[in-house]
Structure 1
């Protein structure tokens, strides 16, 4: 089993969720997160005025950019399919498209039924 964590643009969450659901992966966690890549800002990524000087690092740059983080656990043999789907939906070719991380999961348990391993995630 692997955990796939993706940091994506907020406006891409719905489409990402729809595509993963259509591939048979409806279960995921999603969170609002703040962060930034090495570019330190993305023009036009946010559509509101920033009045808090603590959020501004320098003109044209933000300390943190609103993003969404999705996370799901999939069987090893499905990792490539899920990663490619996330990349395809979120790729614009522009700075800020996001990142995808794949991490090993030692074990999973479904609390309600006590199922373990792949049975707990399918």
Structure 2
């Protein structure tokens, strides 16, 4: 099993969620995050008002608002999930995001005690 973690643009979260659901991956976790990549928070990355702690600084923004999604999938499903996330989120511009694939040693469903792939 693998955990796929993607940092994406806020305006792409719904399309990403829908694309994954269509492929049979409706379960995921999502949260608002802020950060910056190599571009160091390029000004103009976002088209909406930002809170004071994200205010512009010399050469860019302190942090850029993003969305982080996380889902655990079978090893064989990783290429499909990664490809779907890329297809929805690639604009060709700086700030499209990152995808991380991490090993998962064990999964346990709290309600039933199921383990492994059955618990996903």
Structure 2 length-normalised TM? 0.93
Q: Which runs of 5+ in 2 are unaligned?
A: none
Q: What is the aligned length?
A: 119
1:11-50 alignment, distance < 5 Å: 11-42=11-42, 43-48=44-49
Structure-2 separation of matches of 1:54 and 1:44: 12
How far off is 1:45 after superposition?
Answer: 1.2
Does the 8 A contact of 1:8 with 1:68 survive in 2?
yes
Q: Partner of 1:102: helix, strand, or coil?
A: strand
1:9 aligns with 2:9: yes
1:36-115 alignment, distance < 5 Å: 36-42=36-42, 43-48=44-49, 52=52, 55-58=55-58, 60-115=59-114
Structure-2 separation of matches of 1:9 and 1:18: 15
Structure 1 length-normalised TM? 0.91
- Aligned in 2, Cα 1:49/1:16: closer, same or farther, shift over 3 Å? closer
Q: Partner of 2:111: helix, strand, or coil?
A: coil
Q: Which runs of 5+ in 1 are unaligned?
A: none
Structure-2 separation of matches of 1:102 and 1:118: 17
RMSD over equivalenced CA pairs, Å: 1.5
Q: Partner of 1:3: helix, strand, or coil?
A: strand
